[in-house]
Structure 1
């Protein structure tokens, strides 16, 4: 890793940073400093929770300014939320195209990651928020994969975490609950190579029918879902996946990787596998679930628009990632 200090602009295109405790912000800032990353907070990093036309423009302004500032080396989202897609029409796409820099986040930030790739061909990163770096325990796996993806710039292999957690770590860091990781589950075996697209499924689907939806031809989809609907999560996931697989170009996807579901979603692996095997559109490609990304921790970091090779045979899954640009702009 380079010893030269990088400046990361922290932006809040979804929820405001006022949800974060002072302790979480301090730990996150210190952890990133250990990577020679200096945090610089956007003007509207903390904003009012009400949605107004001006609030949307303020969020877009922060992201535009982050791309325009030559001193900013990378951009981290503060946290997820629900309405990042509201800022898309207010972004300065010419500046984003001509002054590329990595943006990293997940959940609602999915819309920005994929839209930026679709509009500019620029690599973005599905990975931790700024707030994620405030975690004191169980963060080593996330940190390692973040470094591989954003700071080393070389090909890397996605490891399997030993344990995972779905506890409220941001409320109490002293009473963490870790669960032994059963590892990836192969639904359809096979090998493939493709362009990484996706993230949070319900957020990704918000791009359908817009100028911001990337071409699915040749895509290797990484999809996950949160637990907002509780026991209805699997039902919602099923119909959202069907919607995506009916989209133009989806017949040419190369593979499907599914992230781990949260405990409150009540998704049983056997039920998930049964539903995934019911999709005729997936019979031609490898499908793997229970991977280390989504709304549980830890998570790996992957480049949206980068290349990925999958080998899933018997009980062994190998995932090799390249952050190099695959190329898919307007």
Structure 2
């Protein structure tokens, strides 16, 4: 495990778009937030590019990522938005350069593919947290979510409890393990690739948006058949937003979760405000964590040195 160095006031951070093209107005509206933290901001050369549903060609998006990794002035990389596209570039990343230049890497949703690939290729701890344009640039961006960025400046153990949101126990128990995962559909898309997620002995975080119960059912079934669920030491169910069924007859999301997770021999809790939601509890991935159904808490080690 490699932890990046903490941020200091006066540091420069980079903003790039490795997936879909960001809303440029919201991107500009978000930059003052970083400046309020005492940081300087540098945006990627191709941040304004649009190539269909991508923020520039694969080569342009790769170039921005490589440039930010190689630049010693850049201490952290934040992603402008998700959407789709990171899976197209992971096989072309220079993982040795990432390992030699460990930096804070922060984002979620489609960035799950990058989180998984980078962690498994380099051991670097990365951060599952709000995007620049699609979250920080919104009016709904709240103080609690903003405070989660402070973990980048001072190493601290974070505890998620019912003080944040109500939690429901699907399967009892207490366990520890490395926290991994993120967006369910992106995790499933790694299966059968060189970047297939390793869940053995891990605490698995799952969240998603816009997926109906039957779609989540299919993805959990794929994880089950791939042996990924039987390997975990615990499951943390984050926010599943915009998941109302359009089918005339449908199982509820709770029924789907129960079908696949209630018989696991490890703790499973749902209701975490992690994902496409506000407030958004940002977490480091690749650190040790403890999930307790007894106390309804998730305790997470610091993600920076």
Q: For residues 215-268 of structure 1, give each alpha carbon's deviation from its aligned partner in whole angstroms, at most 9, with x where no partner exists.
A: 2111101101111x5xxx11111111121233355422111111122245359x
* Superposition map of 1:1-330 within 5 A: 4-17=9-22, 19-21=23-25, 24-50=26-52, 55-131=57-133, 132-148=135-151, 150-160=152-162, 183-227=166-210, 229=211, 233-248=212-227, 250-263=229-242, 265-266=244-245, 271-279=252-260, 282-313=263-294, 316-324=295-303
Higher share in helix: 1
Aligned-pair Cα RMSD in Å: 2.5
TM-score by length of 2: 0.88
Contact 2:237 2:271 in 1 (8 A): yes
Contact 1:78 1:130 in 2 (8 A): yes
1:172 aligns with: none
Contact 2:80 2:132 in 1 (8 A): yes
**TM-fit CA distance, 1:116:** 0.3
Contact 1:307 1:322 in 2 (8 A): yes
**TM-fit CA distance, 1:291:** 1.0
1:328 aligns with: none
Q: Please give the alpha-carbon distance, in whole angstroms, between the structure 1 residues aligned to 2:92 and 2:288.
A: 29
Q: Please give the alpha-carbon distance, in whole angstroms, between the structure 1 residues aligned to 2:187 and 2:32.
A: 32
TM-score by length of 1: 0.82
**TM-fit CA distance, 1:276:** 2.2
SS at match of 1:225: strand
2:3 aligns with: none
**TM-fit CA distance, 1:151:** 2.2
Q: Please give the alpha-carbon distance, in whole angstroms, between the structure 1 residues aligned to 2:74 and 2:206.
A: 29
Q: For residues 119-166 of structure 1, give each alpha carbon's deviation from its aligned partner in whole angstroms, at most 9, with x where no partner exists.
A: 101001111111222234451111122222x2222211125576xxxx
Question: Which runs of no fewer than 5 residues in structure 2 stay unpaired?
Answer: 1-5
Q: Please give the alpha-carbon distance, in whole angstroms, between the structure 2 residues aligned to 1:41 and 1:283.
A: 44
Contact 2:21 2:53 in 1 (8 A): no
Q: Please give the alpha-carbon distance, in whole angstroms, between the structure 1 residues aligned to 2:242 and 2:53.
A: 30
Q: Please give the alpha-carbon distance, in whole angstroms, between the structure 1 residues aligned to 2:61 and 2:239.
A: 30
**TM-fit CA distance, 1:59:** 0.5
Q: Please give the alpha-carbon distance, in whole angstroms, between the structure 1 residues aligned to 2:213 and 2:27.
A: 33
Contact 1:192 1:255 in 2 (8 A): yes
SS at match of 1:251: coil
SS at match of 2:91: helix
Change (3 A) 1:250 1:141: same
